[in-house]
Structure 1
Amino acid sequence: MKVLKFGGSSLASPERIKLVAKTVQKHLKQDKTLVIFSAFGGVTNDLLEMANLASQEDLAYKELFAKNEKRHLEAVKELIPVSAQSGILSKVKTELNRLETLYEGVFLLNELSNKTRHVVSGFGEILSSLIIAEYFKNLGVDAQLVDSRELVVCKNNNKKVQVNYPQTYARIKEYFSKTDASLFLAPGFVARNEQGVPSTLGRGGSDFSAALYSAALDVAQVLVYTDVNGMYTANPQIVPHAYPLKDISYQEAMELSHFGAKVLYPPTLQPLLDKQISIQIKNTMKPEEVGTLISKSSEKNFRWVTGITHIDAIKLLNIEGSGMVGIPGFSKRFFEVLFKENINVVLITQASSEHSICVAVEEDEASLAKEALDIAFEAEIEHKKIKPVTIEEDVAIVALVGDRMKSHHGLSGKMFSALGNNNVNIRAIAQGSSERNISAVIAKKDVHKALNTLHEQFFEVPSKELNLFITGVGNVGAKFLNQLKQQEKFLLEKLRLKVRVHGLSNSSKMVFDEKGIDLQHWEKALENGEKADKSEFFKKVSQLNLRNSIFVDNTASADISAWYREYLANSVSVVTCNKIACADSFENYLELQNLAREYGASFLYETNVGAGLPIIDTLKNLVASGDRITKIQAVLSGSLNFVFNTYKGEEPFYKTVEMAMEEGYTEPDPKIDLSGVDVARKILILARESGHQMELEDIESEDFLSEESLATTNNEDFFTLLKKDEPKFQEIYKSAEANNAQLKYVAQLENGKAKVGLQEVDAQHPFYNLSGSDNIVLFFTERYPEQPLIVKGAGAGADVTASGIFADVIRIGKK
């Protein structure tokens, strides 16, 4: 005989029931078949909700009852021919009348007992099996309806249901030895206790019913049909890259189901394990899929970790105090109290000092557990030997599961390292003696991040996912997004990096997409976004709480840079071409560096100096290797270099500045470049990276612009004064020409002092032939005292700046 079980999702509509019938008929061609049915999808939840509403004297239960009554009657009308409907409609209405009477009693008494809760919750299976049995009979199938309440016997009707296995097996065997049919149909979930009172097997109990029938009848395999392709490496609704497992052991399935994998009800496995009956998890909608086979451990399975799962409906109970240390029997008393209250402990951890015990329990039992424990240890609490029990809420358990974990070293390290790198704090840890499970208690808000991080670590092709949130999508930002799109395939294939953009913002709009923004159409997505708000942008990044999150700032805004500390303190890395933060007060600069270290985030700003040139990286490597910087000389403004390389005294100076703006070499406010403030910030950053504690006002600046032009507040006034000051610019140029020199705006750091200013550079100097918008830096060090280490190349422009941002993102990916 074959045993099949169909869950509520497989019976959610008449169309799905017809699909189920086709699957059942295929099995009937091969052997006699017993099919166990759940309630129609969602009905059990409604039954319990109606009971709760009725107990609160809330008449809304009647509306919900009418909705479910209509659903079942319409299923009859769609599945059964009109000529055959009267009999089944009568049976269904009789059961619905009984159910309605129960709810009326609950409403009048204003009381919902555990016994009544069990009785009403089982009506879903009774109704579904009645309707489906009649449907099969009208298909011409020799179908026999089995009443599971007459065969499955429970030891009690409390919340924690236990089955009387000897009686149950005996009744099932006797029934099937005396009854013959090609197809048997039975409601799952329902049972009676030893006193004959209707009961149930607990939520998910239809799986358990199938297991009990299978064990009693000694079948070779039970097939469990659901709405997914088997048991997955992780919950696919949380982890998009999770995939179904072809085969796992009984023990692995027990661990996964116990820790939250909802495909299988945990008690299901015990009767099957005892008789070595395998389970095949199949998809009702895709019956051709292989699914997952659960059997005894297979030698051909070489996975170290089989699956990742979690429980979020828990709370932690903590008890601590010096009065626990060295006291024999304390733990016994603690767990005895929980046992007497029938409270199940999900996880246990105890400090080796015996100073504290921490356990996880189901969230609806935490208050009862605390009350019972505080009463049991009242004397110790009163004498300050221990503290009252505390409850920690908003926590969850994540667990790695696998038979072969014990054979592989370093799994715990990989697990905790991966979580730690994403700022997932671990509240408690437990590992079973079988080493088949490593569990960690974390904040509930971090579950999504933790599961995806662990899945990436243990199941995916060695790769890393970077999740970007970008503000500033103008010239540089647009180029950066284009580079990301262009290099998407290369990054995945060559560097094993999956880069997704989840948030974009400009000065007026912002847009978010948890699944990732399509970089082919990002402009349209942003255009249809919501109003930009820096605070809301940060809040959204925090709420999404994605692993390997990176905030990318392509602006020159002080308001944006002021948010860096918030991102870093939430373990979100920061990549920026915005120099303001690193050139702010030394205290702020140092705080950002410390926050990055403290919270395991990266703070990268290579483009602050030299755009895409590896200037800061080279300097850091020199310092890290033990070299000491003695002097730095540099041309660090691509815009100023372009301006003075282009200006020949023929065209007015302001025309050259306008050209630099059009080419994208200057900031939107060109005064920032021409005033030397931008260069001063850059040499300040290099000074700090060299180890000097310096402020911006410490940088000596020799201005070539008039004080009046520097005081302007808009570009129109600024250009008016540039026109007025043309004679001065002509004089500066002619002086350099007379001395056979080039004009370069030079930054210098030496002996702890820094200065910036326009200089005449002779033909022997490395700066003399610097063309276009190129930058150049000379590093004089103890290792390079005479011939400096030179970094030279394009130091301005949207493309090279974007490539520098891109390189910093890659650095984080390869970290």
Structure 2
Amino acid sequence: MLVLKFGGTSVANAQNIKLVLDIVQKKSKEDTLAVVVSAFSGVTDLLLDASKKAAQKDKAYRDIISQIDQKHKAAIEELIPLSEQSDLIENINSNINLLKTLLDGCFLLGELSNRTADIVASFGELLSSQIIAVALKQKINAVFKDSRELIKTNSDFGKANVDTETTNHLIANYFKENKAQVVLLPGFIASDEAGNTTTLGRGGSDYTAAIIANATHATALEIWTDVNGMFTANPKIVKQAQPIETISYQEAMELSHFGAKVLYPPTIQPVLDSNIPIWIKNTFEPDAFGTYISNENQAGNNPIKGISHIDKIALITLEGSGMIGVAGSSKRLFEVLSNHSINVIFITQASSEHSICIGILNQDAENAKKAIDKTFELEIAQSKIEPCIVEKDLCIVALVGENMKNHQGISGKMFSTLGKNNVNIRAIAQGASERNISVVINEKDVKKALNTLHERFFEDNTKQLNLFVMGIGNVGEKFIDQIHQQKKFLKENLKINVRVIALANSRKMLFDEDGINLNDWKAKVDNGEKASVNDFISKVKELNLRNSIFVDITANYDVAMIYEQFLRMNVGVVTCNKIACSSHYENYKKLKELSRKYNAPFLFETNVGAGLPIIDTLKNLVASGDKVNKIQAVLSGSLNFIFNNFSETYSFHDVVKQAGVEGYTEPDPKIDLSGVDVARKILILIRESGVSMEMEDIENNCFLPEECMNTTNNDDFFKSLLKNESHFNQLLAEAKEKDSRIKFVAQYDNGKASVGLQFIPKESPFYNLEGKDNIVQFFTERYVDQPLLIKGAGAGAAVTASGIFADVIRIGNV
């Protein structure tokens, strides 16, 4: 015999019930069946809500009764032929009238006993099972059997304990005598010795099916639900979660206890004793494999079978020197919790016996604290034990796997993975069986934790990077295009999955937690919400995604000043904006320290030399123990372009205009021409060399006339360039006279730094620097006579974007 159980979503409406009938009809051709059904989806909640309202003297309970009545009558109209409806409708009306009478009594008395609550809750299964039984009889030889006549319990209303011996005897005798091909039974409900209706707890329909399977020695128990089995994690939280094909009873029990709601935890015990396999199947995809649960050896490549969690947890900590070496402290603690019906979910104790930490549900926390403090009031009064400490809004995350005990380093990988994403672990517990490693974390971090752990243990080491991009102008557009172009390559070859979660400019911002489709991102941004730096930060914090990276592709001061907030949230920062790293040294130092403290990368390779590996090379020199004594560099691709193209036939004004069109200058070209941009770059290199220096310590020999420097907008600035054309022509003439070329050079030499125009002779390596190229020479203790030289394109949207992209990939490879 097979036992099939169909959950609430499987019997939510007539359309779904038709799928159930098809499955049962097909299965009945192979074997005799016991079919257990839940209440229609949502009906049990409606019944409980109605009973509470009635007890509170809220007449709205009557509307709920009508709603329940209509829901079931609608199913009858669609499922049952008109000629067969009268007797069934009479039964349904009788049940609805009884329900109304019970709730009217609650309304009059203004109270709801546990016994009455059980009777009210039972109507969901009673109504659904009677309707489905009649619908089934239209197709095959089927009978209805009330579970209350077979399953006997004690009188603990709400979650009664089964009298196993009596129940097994009644079930075995009934199925021995029954000749029907299919027996249809309501789940969840039972009765006590006196015949009073009891219930087996929410989710108890699974338990009903398991009890019947055990008592009849069924060949298998099939739990039909709305998903393709048990998953490696909650698929609503972890999009990449996968169905688990095979799993042991013990692993399934651990996962179901830790929130895998597809299976009610007590379900496993009855079938475990009889070694009856369980199938978790999908009513809406009946051909899908599902999950097979048995005691067979489930050894595989991955020792982890699943990651689960329980939310709304509180930690209760009892500590004090008065517990050390004192026998019975733990007994007293757990005894008082038991006496107050408070379930302990999690336990850990320091080996010093100085403290005991337990996890319970948030809703029990205040009662637990009062009861514990009362029990230990003498020790608390004598300051031997502290009043118990309560921490709420926590979550337990558990790795589950039968074979974890045979693999070293699982817990280390778990803790390091969480640590890298700044998920703070409040408590740890692991049983001697090593089947479960549990940690307590803040509830706000649960999504990040589950996704991070799933990525580490189940996704073939593919690392997902979540980008929040601010600045989508020339460079930003190239950057997004490069991501779009390389996305597939990165995933297949480097195991990096890059998702752009947010895009923002000065006017609009767009967020999509599942990743923005980059095919038409411009139109989407235009239709986004109004841009706000504070709202942008808040949304990043609210999403709290793993491996988050803020990408700043602006030249904005206000944006540069928010890096600290991102780093404190464990969000990496990649930026081409030079303002932060060239701000006050204390701010630069703080950002570097925050990056280390919160394990959040802070990369700014494009601050100097666009896509050239200048900063990275410098970091490697310093890390290897070398010391930088002198730096000589042409660091402005825009200025190099300008002076390489400035001639008697191409005016200074025109070539500056052209540099802007080509995207080589900042939006405000005065930043480049004033030497401020170059000063920032050499300052960053000096600081990365390990030297403390401020911007004002750099001598800036500006070549622009004062009139040009005093302009306040681009139009006036370009007018001033035309007005002072003779000044620039004089510089050109002087260079020609000296047989030299004009370069804007940055220098650092043993503590002193300067930037300014120089006339470069032919023998200098700077002389033949063409186009927008940059060049840097590092003179170090190892590179004394022949400096380490880096040369290449140092400006332009495409190369800058590629440098930003390289920093992002560098984070992905960590």
Shorter chain as denominator, the TM-score bin is: over 0.9
What is the match of residue 318 of structure 1? 317
SS in 2 for 1:8: coil
User: Offset of 1:346 from its aligned partner?
Assistant: 0.7
What is the match of residue 349 of structure 1? 348
Instruction: Give the distance between the partners of 1:162 and 1:366, measured in 2 at CA.
Output: 25
Q: Say whether the 8 Å CA contact 2:247–2:298 is kept in structure 1.
A: no
Alpha-carbon displacement from aligned partner over 1:22-77 (angstroms, at most 9, x marks no partner): 11011111221110000011111111122222222222222222211110111111
Instruction: Give the distance between the partners of 1:722 and 1:384, measured in 2 at CA.
Output: 80
TM-score w.r.t. length of structure 2: 0.99
Instruction: Give the distance between the partners of 2:717 and 2:300, measured in 1 at CA.
Output: 74
Alpha-carbon displacement from aligned partner over 1:684-743 (angstroms, at most 9, x marks no partner): 000101111100011001111112211111011111111111111111110110110000
2:130 aligned with 1:119, yes or no? Answer: no
SS in 2 for 1:552: strand
Instruction: Give the distance between the partners of 2:64 and 2:314, measured in 1 at CA.
Output: 31
Code of the aligned partner of 1:106 = C
What is the match of residue 532 of structure 2? 533
TM-score w.r.t. length of structure 1: 0.99
Q: Matches of residues 429-578 of structure 1 in structure 2 within 5 Å?
A: 429-578=428-577
What is the match of residue 649 of structure 1? 648
Q: Matches of residues 42-191 of structure 1 in structure 2 within 5 Å?
A: 42-139=42-139, 141-191=140-190
Q: Say whether the 8 Å CA contact 2:299–2:403 is kept in structure 1.
A: no
What is the match of residue 21 of structure 1? 21
Code of the aligned partner of 1:346 = I
What is the match of residue 683 of structure 2? 684
Instruction: Give the distance between the partners of 1:299 and 1:534, measured in 2 at CA.
Output: 51
What is the match of residue 413 of structure 1? 412
Instruction: Give the distance between the partners of 2:185 and 2:571, measured in 1 at CA.
Output: 54
Q: Say whether the 8 Å CA contact 2:246–2:298 is kept in structure 1.
A: no
User: Offset of 1:159 from its aligned partner?
Assistant: 4.4
Code of the aligned partner of 2:156 = N
What is the match of residue 246 of structure 2? 247
Instruction: Give the distance between the partners of 2:693 and 2:720, measured in 1 at CA.
Output: 33
Instruction: Give the distance between the partners of 2:141 and 2:158, measured in 1 at CA.
Output: 37
Q: Say whether the 8 Å CA contact 1:627–1:781 is kept in structure 2.
A: yes
2:12 aligned with 1:9, yes or no? Answer: no
Alpha-carbon displacement from aligned partner over 1:206-235 (angstroms, at most 9, x marks no partner): 000000001111112111111111111111
Alpha-carbon displacement from aligned partner over 1:440-460 (angstroms, at most 9, x marks no partner): 011111111111111110111
> Structure 1, unaligned stretches of length 5 or more?
none
Instruction: Give the distance between the partners of 1:481 and 1:653, measured in 2 at CA.
Output: 33
Instruction: Give the distance between the partners of 2:776 and 2:301, measured in 1 at CA.
Output: 54
Code of the aligned partner of 1:201 = L
Code of the aligned partner of 2:307 = I
Q: Say whether the 8 Å CA contact 1:746–1:759 is kept in structure 2.
A: yes
User: Offset of 1:158 from its aligned partner?
Assistant: 4.2
Deviates most, 7-16 or 40-49: 40-49
Alpha-carbon displacement from aligned partner over 1:484-541 (angstroms, at most 9, x marks no partner): 0000111011111000000000000000001100011110110110000000001001
Q: Say whether the 8 Å CA contact 1:502–1:513 is kept in structure 2.
A: yes
Alpha-carbon displacement from aligned partner over 1:301-328 (angstroms, at most 9, x marks no partner): 4431001111113222122222222211
What is the match of residue 635 of structure 1? 634
SS in 1 for 2:208: helix
Instruction: Give the distance between the partners of 1:665 and 1:188, measured in 2 at CA.
Output: 72
Q: Matches of residues 725-804 of structure 1 in structure 2 within 5 Å?
A: 725-804=724-803
What is the match of residue 377 of structure 1? 376
User: Offset of 1:652 from its aligned partner?
Assistant: 2.2
Code of the aligned partner of 2:20 = V
SS in 1 for 2:467: strand
* Distance change (3 Å), C-alpha of 1:111 and 1:391: farther
Code of the aligned partner of 1:348 = I
What is the match of residue 229 of structure 1? 228
Code of the aligned partner of 1:71 = K
- How many corresponding residue pairs? 814
Instruction: Give the distance between the partners of 1:43 and 1:614, measured in 2 at CA.
Output: 64
Instruction: Give the distance between the partners of 1:161 and 1:708, measured in 2 at CA.
Output: 90
SS in 1 for 2:9: helix
Instruction: Give the distance between the partners of 1:186 and 1:612, measured in 2 at CA.
Output: 70
SS in 2 for 1:153: coil
Instruction: Give the distance between the partners of 1:610 and 1:727, measured in 2 at CA.
Output: 31
Deviates most, 23-32 or 402-411: 23-32
Instruction: Give the distance between the partners of 2:228 and 2:324, measured in 1 at CA.
Output: 50
- Identity score, percent: 57
Code of the aligned partner of 1:215 = N
Instruction: Give the distance between the partners of 1:539 and 1:362, measured in 2 at CA.
Output: 29
User: Offset of 1:651 from its aligned partner?
Assistant: 2.6
User: Offset of 1:110 from its aligned partner?
Assistant: 2.0
Instruction: Give the distance between the partners of 1:104 and 1:133, measured in 2 at CA.
Output: 29
SS in 1 for 2:327: coil
Instruction: Give the distance between the partners of 2:667 and 2:492, measured in 1 at CA.
Output: 38
User: Offset of 1:160 from its aligned partner?
Assistant: 4.5
SS in 1 for 2:310: strand
Q: Say whether the 8 Å CA contact 1:7–1:37 is kept in structure 2.
A: yes
Code of the aligned partner of 1:328 = A
Code of the aligned partner of 2:55 = S
Q: Say whether the 8 Å CA contact 1:160–1:342 is kept in structure 2.
A: no
Aligned-residue CA RMSD in angstroms? 1.1
Instruction: Give the distance between the partners of 1:161 and 1:383, measured in 2 at CA.
Output: 42
User: Offset of 1:299 from its aligned partner?
Assistant: 5.2
